[in-house]
Amino acid sequence: MHCSDSDFSVFTLLPPFNDLNAQLVVGGKLADSGYTITYEATAAPDGSLNSVSHTKTNFWNYALPLFGVSPSLDIGLTGNPMASSKPAPLTWESQFNWFEASGIPITPIDDNMHENYFPMVKVTAYDGTNKAIASTTAVLPVSSEINCGTCHASNTGNPAAKPVSGWVNLPLGSEKDWRMNILRLHDEKNANTANYTSLLTQKGYGSSLESSAVTGKPVLCDTCHNSNALAVWGISGVPGVSSMTAAMHNRHANVTLPGQTQTLDSIGTRDACYNCHPGKKTQCLRGAMGNPTNSNGNHTMECQSCHGSMLTVGNKARNGWFDMPTCQSCHHDGVRETVAINADGTFKTWNDIRFASNPNTPAQGWSLFRFSTGHGNLQCEACHNSTHAEFTDKPSANDNQANDNLRAIQAQSYAAAIRECTVCHATMPSSVNGGPHGMHNLGQSWVNSHPDAFGTTPKTNCYYCHGTTSAGSSLAVIKVAKTFNIDDGGAKTFAAGERVTCWSCHDGPNP
C-alpha cells in the first residue's frame, strides 16, 4: 500500500509512487532476464478500470517545484508510466532476482471518477520469441486518505492545533485550508529554532513555509524530514532534523481528537492509525493477520501488534520502514504469537527459523519480509502476497481484499497462500521436507507415500502443521474440499475448512 497526497499545491508527503515486482517460474525454476514482462491496466471483477492519472490529480502541475523534474503526463518520477492500455515493460533487477517497475504514478480514482483503493494491472510474461507464456493480475494498492482536517481545519478543528495568529480560513471543507493551517503552525512552532530561517532560505522556501506556498512554491516535507520511503531515490532530508516518522508520531502521540478523551497513543487499535494512515475507508490492514477477530468481534491483531505504540514508532533511534519485526517474531516452534513486540519496544526474537525472514536482508541489521526469499529463491511475497495484504480465505467484512486475492485464485483456484505444488511444478514433486518451510509434497502422492516417511522422519517435523497432539493446527486446514484414496481401498473426503489430523484416517497417531 502506497499513500499519495490528493493535492500538491501546498505541501506533499508522498507523490503517486507505486512499485510492482514480478518473478517468473518456467519449468519449475525461477527464470532470469532472458524474458520480458509487461504491465497494463485491467478491469477488476466489478468493472473498475484505472488507466490514466493526470486527469485525476494536480501532481504534474507541481512536480517541478516539488521534485525538480518535470515528467510528461502520466509518467512517474522514475520514468515509468501509469498503467494504461499500452503494455509497459518491467526491468530486470539482478540484486533481487525480480522484474520491477518502480514509481508507477497511479491514483485511487478509477476512469469513472469513483474511488478505488485497489486498482488492478495485468502482468504478462513473454519468451525470447515475444510469445506470451504466462499472465496474472495484481493490485497496485493506493490511497490518498491522508486527511489532517479533523484537527487542522479552520474553526472546526482541534483548538490545540489552532495557530497563534489564527486560522487561515480558506473556504470551508477546502483541503488547501487545513494544509495551509499546518504550514502556519509549523512556522510558528519553529520560529525560534536555530537556523530555521536560514534552512528555509537554503531550500528555496523564503521567509516561511506558508508564504512559499502562497507564492506558488509548494513544500516537500521530505526535503528536511528524511523518509526512507523516498530516501532511496535521493530525497534524504537534513542531518539533525527529525525523520518524518519520528516527527509525525511524536508530535501526535499525545493528541486527543475533537470530542474524545483518549490520546492517540493510548487508543491501542488501528482506529488511532486510520486517522492518518489509509484509512477508515481504505482499511489497508486487510490481510490474513489483519482480519481475524475474537468471540467479541474485536481484532486479535492490530497495527500496534507489529509496530508498537505511536511513541514507540516515533522513537528517534528507530529507522522507519526498516526497523520491523521478523516473521519469526510471531511464527516459531509451532506457535503463532499475536504480538511481535515486547513492552520495551524491542521485537521478539526466537531461535527457530523455519518461518524466518532472511537475516540481514536487504542490508545489515534488517531482516524484512518484503525482501526475503524462500523455496526456489521465490520472494516470500510471491506465495504470501505483500505486507498488509496477505492472501486469506477470510477477507475483511467490507470485502476490500477481493482484488488482492485474485492472483491466488487464478493460480490455485482458491484464496489462500500459494500452497499447491503444481502451481509452479509441471508434475507433483516427491519430497518429505523439501518444500516451502520444510513441507512435504501434497495430494494423493503424499497419501500414498506418507506411511514410509512417517517411519523415518522425526515427529517434531510434523508438529509445525499438525500440532504436538497431532490434532492439526491452522496450518493443516484443507482450503477446498478434496477426496483421497486410502490404503484400505476406501476414500476419505475432507470438507473445506477441515483440519488434517491423524484421526482423519486412523485411530490416532502411532507412537
Q: What is the pLDDT of residues 53-105, one digit of tens each?
A: 999 999 999 999 999 999 999 999 999 999 999 999 999 999 999 999 999 99
β-bridge mates for residue 280, sequence order: none
pLDDT of residue 65: 95
CA dihedral 19, 20, 21, 26 (to 10 degrees): -170
Mean pLDDT of all residues in 481-496: 90
> Which H helix or E strand runs over 36?
strand 36-42
Cell (9 digits) for 246: 519520528
Residue 172 has pLDDT above 90, yes or no: no
Is residue 240 predicted with pLDDT exceeding 70? yes
pLDDT of amino acid 261: 92
The predicted structure's pLDDT at residue 193: 87
- The predicted pLDDT at position 357 comes to 96
C-alpha separations of 286 from 138, 289, 314, 388, 410 in Å: 15, 8, 24, 6, 20
Query: What pLDDT is stored for residue 503 in this prediction?
Result: 85
Q: Can you tell me the mean pLDDT for 352-368?
A: 94
Enter the pTM of the model.
0.94
> What per-residue confidence (pLDDT) applies to 345?
92
Q: What is residue 398's predicted lDDT score, i.e. its pLDDT?
A: 64
| pLDDT surpasses 90 at 467 | no
Backbone angles phi, psi at 124, to 5 degrees: -125, 135
Rounded CA gap, 42 and 388, in Å?
22
Region 332-356: mean pLDDT is 92
Percent of the chain with pLDDT over 70: 98
Beta strand 335-336 pairing with 331-332: antiparallel
- Alpha-carbon distance of 397 to 363, in angstroms, equals 37
Q: Which is more confident, 235 or 103?
A: 103
Q: Residue 26: pLDDT above 70?
A: yes
On the question of pLDDT at 511 being above 70, the answer is no
Q: What is the model's pLDDT at position 453?
A: 83
Q: Is the pLDDT score of 510 beyond 80?
A: no
DSSP string for 188-228? HHHTTSTTHHHHHHHTT-TT-HHHHHHTT--EEGGGTS--H
Mean pLDDT over each residue of the chain, to the nearest integer: 92
Q: What is the mean pLDDT of residues 339-365?
A: 94
Q: What is the mean pLDDT of residues 418-440?
A: 92
Q: Work out the pLDDT band at 451, boundaries 50, 70, 90.
A: confident
| pLDDT tens column, 100-159 | 999 999 999 999 999 999 999 999 999 999 999 999 999 999 999 988 999 999 999 999
* 8-12, 288-292, 364-368, 451-455: range with lowest mean pLDDT: 451-455
pLDDT at 305 over 70: yes
pLDDT for 397 = 61
CB count, 10 Å around CB of 156? 15
CA-to-CA distance for 420 and 154, rounded, in angstroms? 55
Predicted confidence (pLDDT) per residue in 384-423, tens digit: 999 999 999 877 666 677 899 999 999 999 999 999 999 9
Question: pLDDT exceeding 90 applies to what percent of the chain?
Answer: 75
Burial level of 134, CB count in 10 A (0-12/13-18/19+)?
middle
